[in-house]
Amino acid sequence: MSVHRLPPGPGNVTDLHTRRSSYHPDYAALARNRVALARSSAGLSPTAFAEALSTLLARPIKAGHVISWENNTTPPGDVLIAVGALAPLTGARLGIRSHKFIAAQISHASAERLSRELGMEHVVGYLGKTSCWTAPVDTEADQGTLTVWPWGTVIIHLVQDLDVPNITTLALWRYQSYETNLAWASTYLSELTSSEVHATYVLSLYWVYAAPWVGATLDAGLRLICAPRVLVDRDMTDTAAAQVTGERAEQELLAAGYQPTDMKEFGTPGVSSAWASWSGVAYHPHDPLRALPEEDLVNFEIGLQAIWSYTAHLNDQIESGHPLQTCPNYGYGFLRGARSLLLTPRPQETGQHQQMREAIVSSSGLPGKLSLAMEALKEAGS
């Protein structure tokens, strides 16, 4: 778990790498006990537990494997993570996987050149059958991916696992890291393209796999995670004082039930709790086997942000009074198709996917931006 990236100050997690003790627990035995405890808590037989693990891990798990992992064999790391998803341990901390989407615009010529020079993988699926190119990015994050679209949009996806004591710590880390992320992405893309590139914004999606709350407090907590700006005083330069002020506000809002009117809920009772806002998305699975796959949320956001960034780029040109500069084949007709894809229910999509799509798209403000851009492109004959 990445804890060293959190900002210094009161309320921070302890860096586990700096702790020293003469006690060295039997981690193999602890791992076996974790499997046994999870199966017992879930009330499943070894066979049923094996079937659930098989679904999560996408490989066959037998009842004999489960029995062995409980008694004499150390379970693999991916099994322990899956076990934690099936029967999460309760605690006072937040376990969060942060997904950041950093957007920028380059020329379509630069996009095609990057795809060739970097040997990027050609993929489809983020936006229907629309093509794009992807490649891994070497960053300080746990994982980074560069996605380049033919019309010049670039989305850098950064993934970081975080273990935090409260939402205020997450909020301070979020806004302090945004500035660093934008500066890094701008420099990185400028060097790749040999031209000046400015990363324009960062949007966050949080997969909350461990939370210390229940009921109404859980919903209030997720809404704060979704849009934590209310906990951050931008005028305070003292990090310690900002932490204390934010934690006080956090407790008050959790108790009162933080309910901003512009947020959209798309959770399913007994399955998940989820919220979308202009600032980002927060998703907490109660039942991992029935909840939306994390990858589906991420892939949808990558596609949506590709269109959001492109329409913002077009609207900036309109507002500045400059002639519209578009990539061939990605004018009015393309945006009309993208609008249909993002706003219209798909015949085979589940109710959860439909709720996710409607909540994220509507809270992002994309429909209005799309309409303005499409109108301008139609008038320009693009």
Lowest mean pLDDT, pick from 3-17, 143-157, 199-213, 260-274: 3-17
How many CB atoms sit inside 10 A of residue 184's CB?
Answer: 17
pLDDT digits (tens, 9 = 90+) for 148-179: 999 999 999 999 988 899 999 999 999 999 99
Using alpha carbons only, give the angle 139, 144, 149 rounded to the nearest 5 degrees: 120
132 in the same domain as 77: no
User: Is 266 within a domain?
Assistant: yes
Q: In whole numbers, what is the pLDDT of the chain averaged over residues?
A: 86
Last residue of a domain, one of 244, 262, 296: 296
With a pLDDT cut of 90, the percent of the chain lying above it is 59
pLDDT digits (tens, 9 = 90+) for 8-55: 333 433 332 333 333 344 567 768 877 886 787 677 899 999 999 999
List all residues 6 or more positions away from 340 whose beta carbon is below 8 Å from its beta carbon.
none
> Are 105 and 82 part of one and the same domain?
no
User: Considering only CA atoms, which of 57, 35, 56 is closest in space to residue 46?
Assistant: 35
202/123 same-domain check: yes
Question: What's the pLDDT score for residue 26?
Answer: 59
The span from the CA of 366 to the CA of 280, in Å, is 13
- Alpha carbon of 337 to those of 164, 327, 342, 359: distances in Å? 41, 16, 9, 20
Same domain, 134 and 253: yes
Residue 375 lies in a domain: no
**Residue that finishes a domain, picked among 35, 70, 86:** 86
What CATH number has the domain bearing residue 56? Answer: 1.10.260
Judgement on whether residues 80 and 137 belong to the same structural domain of the protein? no
Contact between 324 and 376 under an 8 Å Cβ cutoff? The reply is: yes
pLDDT at residue 1 is higher than 70: no
Q: Are residues 106 and 186 in the same domain?
A: yes
> Residue 4 falls within a domain, yes or no?
no
| Position 81 in a domain | yes
pLDDT digits (tens, 9 = 90+) for 91-122: 567 889 999 999 999 999 999 999 999 999 99
CB 105 within 8 A of CB 116: no
Predicted pLDDT at 15: 31
68 and 108 assigned to the same domain: no
Secondary structure of 279-300 in HEC code, one letter for each residue: CEEEEEECCCCCCCCHHHHHHH
Q: What's the first-to-final CA gap in the chain, in angstroms?
A: 48
Say if residues 334 and 108 touch (Cβ distance below 8 Å): no
Token pair belonging to 344: 């219209």
Q: Is the domain of 119 the same as that of 174?
A: yes
The count of domains in the chain is: 2
What is the CA angle 75-95-232, rounded to 5?
165
Tens of pLDDT along 229-259? 899 887 777 888 889 999 999 999 998 888 8
- Whether 245 and 141 map to the same domain: the answer is yes
Looking at 52, 86, 120, the residue that finishes a domain is 86
187 and 135 assigned to the same domain: yes
Share of the chain above pLDDT 70, in %: 90
| Cα gap 170→243, rounded to integer Å | 10
Please give the radius of gyration of the chain, using alpha carbons only, rounded to the nearest integer. 23
Residue type at 217 in one-letter notation: T
Same domain, 196 and 271: yes
**pTM for the full model?**
0.77
Q: Are residues 179 and 256 in the same domain?
A: yes
- Closest by CA to 176, choosing from 202, 213, 212, is 202
Q: Rounded to 5, what percent of the chain is helix, strand, coil?
A: 50, 20, 30
- DSSP H helical segments within 194-238, as ranges? 215-226
Residue numbers of the domain that contains 155: 94-296
In a domain, 220, yes or no: yes
Judged against a pLDDT cut of 50, whether residue 182 lies above it is answered with: yes
Closest CA to 118 of 134, 100, 141, 142: 134
Residue 72 lies in a domain: yes
Question: 348 is written with which tokens?
Answer: 């085979």
